[in-house]
């Protein structure tokens, strides 16, 4: 499945985007939450609770990572640790596994709830991957809708490139070209995506 593989090739770039987001926002969020709980329980009690919570969630997450067929571990994560990074990452992992099994509707069931994630990178990755699945299913309207968000942030180049793919699939070549060109202007010059987008543009010329 060409388009899904192309997004998979951007994983390194997504990791860098995640690191940047955490660098910009992570410490402020962590400190704010930590201070709030410390005021209620005391720092020692909060540390013990947080460590136990993290260990339990991580155990379920690793179980899903090693065997996506382990639905029980995934359901435990969603029931008891919903909204945590472990739960969200598990959903992304289950969606990818479903795509590997060519079960695209099930993949969407894992991805769609993540559109409203408070963690920006989870929202963006889930929207982009949903759009690519809709594109594969030739549902261009839903593919475009998946990319409608108020703030594309550091993912703007990938959004534009994906829109280009969708318009190319629809046969709207002028719009495809515009979005590929826009992506070139938005994506870092040293990104591996640059050459891929240039190839797509050359095909349209």
Where do we find the tokens 């540390």? Answer: 47
The answer for residues whose C-beta is within 8 angstroms of residue 105's C-beta and 6 or more apart is none
Summarised one tens digit per residue, pLDDT across range 123-156 is 999 999 999 999 999 999 999 999 998 888 888 9
Classify 52 as helix, strand or coil. helix
Q: Where are the alpha helices (DSSP H) in 137-192?
A: 140-146, 156-170, 173-186
Measured N-to-C along each axis, helices 120-136 and 11-21 cross at an angle, to the nearest 10 degrees, of 150
pLDDT at 13: 58
- Dist CA 183 CA 159 (whole Å): 8
**What's the CA gap between 57 and 65, in Å, rounded?**
12
| Other beta carbons within 10 Å of 96 | 17
| pLDDT at position 26 over 60 | no
Reading the block at residue 73, the tokens are 């571990």
Q: What is the pLDDT of residues 74-121, one digit of tens each?
A: 999 999 988 888 899 899 999 999 999 999 999 999 999 999 988 888
% of the chain beyond a pLDDT of 70: 74
């Amino acid at each position: 499945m060409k388009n899904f593989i192309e997004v998979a090739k951007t994983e390194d770039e997504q990791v860098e985007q995640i690191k940047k987001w955490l660098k910009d926002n992570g410490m402020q969020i962590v400190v704010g939450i930590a201070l709030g709980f410390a005021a209620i329980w005391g720092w020692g009690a909060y540390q013990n609770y947080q460590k136990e919570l993290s260990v339990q969630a991580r155990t379920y997450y690793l179980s899903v990572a090693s065997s996506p067929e382990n639905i029980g571990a995934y359901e435990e994560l969603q029931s008891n640790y919903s909204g945590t990074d472990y739960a969200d990452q598990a959903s992304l992992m289950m969606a990818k596994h479903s795509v590997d099994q060519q079960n695209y509707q099930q993949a969407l069931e894992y991805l769609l709830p993540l559109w409203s994630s408070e963690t920006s990178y989870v929202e963006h990755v889930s929207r982009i991957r949903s759009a690519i699945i809709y594109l594969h299913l030739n549902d261009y309207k839903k593919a475009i809708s998946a990319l409608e968000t108020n703030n594309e942030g550091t993912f703007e180049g990938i959004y534009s490139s994906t829109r280009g793919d969708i318009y190319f699939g629809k046969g709207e070549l002028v719009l495809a070209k515009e979005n590929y060109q826009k992506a070139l202007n938005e994506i870092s010059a040293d990104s591996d995506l640059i050459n891929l987008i240039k190839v797509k543009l050359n095909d349209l010329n």
